[in-house]
């Protein structure tokens, strides 16, 4: 491997001059910068991260910790990961994948965390390196979509479409996002002077389908689903009961990365803007690495119009 010294010799300067060209070009004369850069290109020199890490006490490496169970990983995590990889690379950092609770900070400059639950938060809060979580937790810098605004959007879309009955299909409320999504529906309904109708199910399309089959939907009904999985189940329940979507039955899902496209009809959904989320996550991390204090960011999602709303 070609080292700084190799470049220095080839360019007839000292190591430090080459180092400065890379890190403090303002301190080097223009001609030498040009020379050195040419040699760097010719030799295909790439900085050795280990040497840099040792000298700077930085590792240029961020651990992305995906704590969700491997069998419950939703497809959109792959997208979040890709975007985070891009953003970190752009910022000069590397993304190291982890999916255990190894918060060892000897070889990383910070953590990006997804899928953290109750007991993880204390741990994260006690860390001495920057942390950004995907989700919501007071006291920890985080990026999340505004889940409440999302279901408000969904609910209002169905209200505007004029459905007589407007049901919320929710999931287990142990996670903040589930609570906020339900609150969004409640608020929108309250504001519209409408009566809420809320059910909680496991996040499973078969469960939703079975549940709605028993509920006897009778047309002119809108469903705000807490997830696309539930929305998918609602779509199937409606169709198997002979309802026409979206005329008799309107559905808005939530997440919008993969499932909504696989449905029999493309689901109208509230889409997670994962590229934007990744940008904010990395930006918050970089600010912390620069010594700034940061506050959490909430991104307002958008309604992605499919075929399950008019």
Partner DNA sequence: TTGTACGCGTTATCAT
Partner DNA sequence: ATGATAACGCGTACAA
Q: Which residues lie near a copy of itself (CB under 8 A)?
A: 1, 46-51, 53-54, 59, 61, 64, 66, 70, 73, 75, 77-79, 81-83, 85-86, 89, 94-100, 104-107, 205, 232, 236, 258-259, 262, 264
- State which residue, 21 or 84, has the beta carbon closest to DNA: 21
Given 10, 17, 181, 279, the residue binding DNA (CB under 7 A) = 17
Confirm or reject binding of residue 3 to DNA (CB under 7 A).
Answer: yes
If 0-12 CB within 10 Å is exposed, 13-18 middle and 19+ buried, where does residue 124 land? buried
CB-CB contact of 118 with 309 (8 Å): no
In this structure, are strands 94-98 and 61-66 parallel, antiparallel, or unpaired? parallel
Which segment (5-13, 83-91, 216-224, 298-306) binds DNA by CB under 7 A? Answer: 5-13
Integer Cα distance of 183 and 189 in angstroms? 10
- State which residue, 13 or 80, has the beta carbon closest to DNA: 13
In this structure, are strands 110-114 and 61-66 parallel, antiparallel, or unpaired? parallel
- State which residue, 28 or 235, has the beta carbon closest to DNA: 28
Task: Collect all residues with Cβ–Cβ distance below 8 Å to 73 and sequence separation of at least 6.
Answer: 66
Give Rg (Cα) of the chain: 25
Beta bridge partner(s), residue 198: 168
Which positions from 82 to 101 touch DNA by CB under 7 A, shown as an x/- string? --------------------
Given 19, 152, 271, 308, the residue binding DNA (CB under 7 A) = 19
In 3-state terms, the chain is what percent helix, strand and coil (to 5)? 45, 20, 35
Cα→Cα distances 299→90, 145, 295, Å: 21, 4, 13
Give the DSSP per-residue string, 41-62: HHHT----HHHHHHHHT---EE
Which does residue 14 bind out of DNA, a copy of itself, none, counting CB within 5 to 8 angstroms by kind?
DNA
State both tokens at 196.
């809420």
Q: What are phi and psi of 130, to 5 degrees?
A: -60, 140
Given 41, 44, 57, 216, the residue binding DNA (CB under 7 A) = 57
| Closest C-alpha among 133, 174, 127, 109 to residue 296 | 133
- State which residue, 45 or 163, has the beta carbon closest to a copy of itself: 45
- State which residue, 60 or 199, has the beta carbon closest to DNA: 60
Given 34, 38, 42, 51, the residue binding DNA (CB under 7 A) = 51
Task: Collect all residues with Cβ–Cβ distance below 8 Å to 207 and sequence separation of at least 6.
Answer: 201, 233
Given 37, 42, 44, 54, the residue binding DNA (CB under 7 A) = 54
**What's the DSSP call for residue 300?**
P
Given 32, 129, 213, 283, the residue binding DNA (CB under 7 A) = 32
- State which residue, 12 or 89, has the beta carbon closest to DNA: 12
Minimum distance between the CB of residue 40 and a copy of itself, rounded to whole angstroms?
A: 12
Which does residue 5 bind out of a copy of itself, DNA, none, counting CB within 5 to 8 angstroms by kind?
DNA
State both tokens at 17.
């001059």
**What's the DSSP call for residue 38?**
H
Confirm or reject binding of residue 14 to DNA (CB under 7 A).
Answer: yes
Which does residue 276 bind out of DNA, a copy of itself, none, counting CB within 5 to 8 angstroms by kind?
none
Which does residue 159 bind out of a copy of itself, DNA, none, counting CB within 5 to 8 angstroms by kind?
none
Per CB under 7 A, residues contacting DNA are 1, 3-5, 12-17, 19-20, 22-24, 27-29, 31-32, 47-48, 50-52, 54-57
């Amino acid at each position: 491997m070609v080292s700084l010294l190799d470049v220095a010799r080839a360019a007839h300067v000292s190591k430090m001059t080459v180092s400065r060209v890379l890190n403090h070009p303002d301190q080097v004369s223009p001609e030498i910068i040009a020379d050195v850069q040419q040699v760097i290109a010719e030799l295909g020199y790439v900085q050795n991260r280990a040497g840099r890490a040792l000298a700077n006490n930085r590792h240029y490496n961020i651990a992305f910790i995906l704590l969700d169970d491997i069998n419950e990983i939703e497809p959109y995590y792959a997208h979040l990961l890709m975007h985070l990889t891009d953003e970190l690379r752009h910022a000069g950092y590397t993304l190291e994948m982890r999916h255990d609770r190894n918060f060892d900070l000897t070889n990383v400059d910070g953590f990006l965390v997804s899928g953290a639950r109750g007991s993880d938060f204390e741990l994260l809060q006690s860390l001495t390196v920057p942390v950004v979580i995907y989700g919501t937790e007071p006291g920890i810098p985080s990026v999340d979509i505004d889940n409440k605004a999302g279901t408000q959007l969904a609910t209002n879309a169905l209200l505007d479409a004029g459905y007589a009955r407007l049901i919320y299909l929710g999931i287990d409320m142990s996670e903040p996002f589930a609570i906020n999504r339900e609150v969004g529906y409640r608020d929108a309904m309250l504001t519209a002077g409408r009566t809420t109708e809320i059910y909680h199910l496991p996040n499973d399309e078969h469960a939703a389908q079975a549940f709605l089959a028993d509920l006897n939907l009778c047309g002119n009904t809108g469903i705000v689903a807490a997830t696309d999985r539930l929305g998918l189940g609602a779509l199937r329940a409606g169709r198997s009961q002979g309802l026409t979507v979206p005329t008799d039955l309107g559905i808005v899902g939530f997440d919008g990365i993969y499932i909504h496209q696989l449905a029999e009809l493309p689901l109208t959904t509230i889409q997670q803007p994962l590229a934007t989320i990744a940008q904010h996550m990395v930006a918050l991390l970089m600010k912390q690495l620069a010594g700034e204090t940061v506050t959490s960011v909430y991104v307002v999602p958008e309604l992605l119009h499919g075929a399950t709303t008019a």
